[in-house]
Amino acid sequence: MLEMTTQVSFTVLGVALLVHLVGHTEIADLVTKGLLLAAFVIAGAFAALWLGLAAVIEKAALRLGRSGWLSPILVGAAVGATVMMLITGVRLLRARQADARAA
């Protein structure tokens, strides 16, 4: 996780310097905002780990599993839905990249 943090930090710094030297473009602003969002997400993940939030979520999931309320069918459906969302996101990203190349 620390490696990912340094990669995002150096990338944000590099893009910011590049934008400062070359000038502002729409794509540079979009990339900078995305990288800053990623930096905040990573900071949030670090904070959650430091505060022990991961353990709290794990305990809650275990209690739900033991109570029988969260059946394996529901868990499988949730995993399947998550995978489909990721696949759809990748397809949309590829379609946007193809449109950008065509333009």
Q: What would the DSSP string read from start to end of 77-101?
A: HHHHHHHHHHHHHHHHHHHHHHHHH
What pLDDT, on a 0 to 100 scale, did the predictor assign at position 73?
57
Cα 100 from chain centroid (whole Å): 23
Burial class (CB in 10 A: 0-12, 13-18, 19+), 20: exposed
Stretch 22-45: mean pLDDT: 80
What pLDDT, on a 0 to 100 scale, did the predictor assign at position 68?
64
Annotated domain spans of the chain: 1-53
Burial per residue of 40-65, b for 16 or more beta-carbon CB atoms within 10 angstroms, e otherwise: eebeeeeeeeeeeeeeeeeeeeeeee
Q: pLDDT, tens digit, for every residue of 66-81?
A: 766 655 555 666 667 7
What average pLDDT does the chain have? 76
pTM over 0.85: no
